[in-house]
């Protein structure tokens, strides 16, 4: 019985220790992600993540093992969501940059073609002038 309790306690401690490690890791991740530029959606998701991390800490303190497990499951999913949202922001920025570059290149190409037409017209006029010269 005592052995079983000891094992249970050890498991609980182990679980508690593992849970704490995860909580710590997610805390550090939240700090890292907080430094990345993001939209309101990300800020909100990130805020939720941090709230749940705090909740997990509180449940950990209250030794609500089941509550910690549930919260950690949500934290894990929310973490992936935050990463996905950040990736989306990066992708949006990349797409915007690519669009801006495409627009810039299109304008430059258009301007270059206009300039070519203008200079070709000047060349034609000069050719006529040279032909007519005595």
Binding positions for other proteins, 110-129, rule CB under 8 A = 112-113, 115-116, 119-120, 122-123, 126-127, 129
Binding positions for other proteins, 1-60, rule CB under 8 A = none
* Least gap, CB of 134 to other proteins (angstroms): 6
User: How many other C-beta atoms are found inside a 10 Å radius of the C-beta of residue 16?
Assistant: 15
* Least gap, CB of 117 to other proteins (angstroms): 10
* Least gap, CB of 107 to other proteins (angstroms): 8
Candidate segments 1-9, 25-33, 55-63, 82-90, binder of other proteins by CB under 8 A: 82-90
63 Rama sector, left if φ>0, alpha if ψ -120 to 50, beta otherwise: left
What Rg do the C-alpha atoms of the chain give, in angstroms? 32
Q: CA–CA separation, 5 vs 3, rounded Å?
A: 5
* Least gap, CB of 3 to other proteins (angstroms): 33
Provide long-range contacts, Cβ within 8 A and 24+ apart, for 14-19. Answer: 15/65, 16/60, 16/63, 16/65, 19/56, 19/60, 19/68, 19/69, 19/72
Binding site for other proteins (CB under 8 A): 70, 73-74, 77-78, 80-81, 84-85, 87-88, 91-92, 94-95, 97-99, 101-102, 104-106, 108-109, 112-113, 115-116, 119-120, 122-123, 126-127, 129-130, 133-134
């Amino acid at each position: 019985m005592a052995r079983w309790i000891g094992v249970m306690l050890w498991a609980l401690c182990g679980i508690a220790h593992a849970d704490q490690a995860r909580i710590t890791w997610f805390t550090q991740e939240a700090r890292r992600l907080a430094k990345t530029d993001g939209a309101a959606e990300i800020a909100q998701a990130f805020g939720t993540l941090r709230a749940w991390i705090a909740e997990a800490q509180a449940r950990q303190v209250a030794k609500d093992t089941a509550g910690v497990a549930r919260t950690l499951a949500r934290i894990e999913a929310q973490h992936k969501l935050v990463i996905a949202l950040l990736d989306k922001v990066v992708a949006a920025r990349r797409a915007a940059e690519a669009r801006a570059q495409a627009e810039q290149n299109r304008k430059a190409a258009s301007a270059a073609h206009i300039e070519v037409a203008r200079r070709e017209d000047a060349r034609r006029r000069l050719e006529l002038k040279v032909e007519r010269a005595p």
